[in-house]
Amino acid sequence: MTTWVALLRGVNVGGITIRSADLGALFRDLGFDGVRTVLASGNVRFEADAEASARAELKTRIEAGLRERFGYEAWIVLVTLDELQQAIDDFPFDATDAARQPYVVFTSDDAVRDELVAAITDLDLGIDPARAGIAVVYWHPAKGSSTDTPYAKLLAKARFAASTTTRNLRTLAKITG
């Protein structure tokens, strides 16, 4: 049994509202065990008899269930709990810096991750501190600037909507706890 985390993109923003209880019920109806939703931003921890090699099939199944049940164009990034913990443990910036947001950008597409990593070389790292991680990108913008820096604008491009989602390090810690 593998513990998985589904990170839903765009839930409870932009008119897509899904109650945590309803989200949890969907995952249980899909046959998953140990289902737990975390916060109202689309984070589901669950157990499935599926190894990491079955990620694509599992992702497709969950996205189809979300589309059918809630009637929206659902996209998720699916990681194992171990992968999520590794992303937390490897955070390369000072996560206690109260002036900054400790973000982890997850991708479900290696080519997208590579593009986001390549863009780091063009950044002013004083304004947009970012670094590559294992299957993620770390980003540490100043509070209040997470929509208007050059990296923020890159992350917001529509072409990344189906394959990326960003989480605060504090949210990730709640998922693993």
Q: pLDDT for 81-132, tens place per residue?
A: 999 999 999 999 999 999 999 999 999 999 999 999 999 999 999 999 999 9
**pLDDT tens digits, residue range 143-161?**
999 899 999 999 999 999 8
57 contacts: CB under 8 Å, gap ≥ 6:
50
Q: Using CA atoms, how far apart are residues 9 and 87, in angstroms rounded to an integer?
A: 18
0.85 surpassed by pTM: yes
pLDDT for 165: 93
Q: Which of 6-10, 13-17, 50-54, 92-96 has the lowest mean pLDDT?
A: 13-17
**Pairing label, strands 43-48, 33-37:** antiparallel
pLDDT for 94: 96
At position 118, the amino acid (one-letter code) is: A
1 CB burial (10 A radius; 0-12, 13-18, 19+):
exposed
Q: Which helix (H) or strand (E) is 64 found in, with range?
A: helix 55-70
- Domains 2-83 and 86-176 are alike in CATH topology: yes
Asked if residues 168 and 95 have their Cβ atoms less than 8 Å apart, the reply is: no
Whether CATH 3.30.70.1260 fits 86-176: yes
Q: 2-83: what CATH class?
A: alpha beta
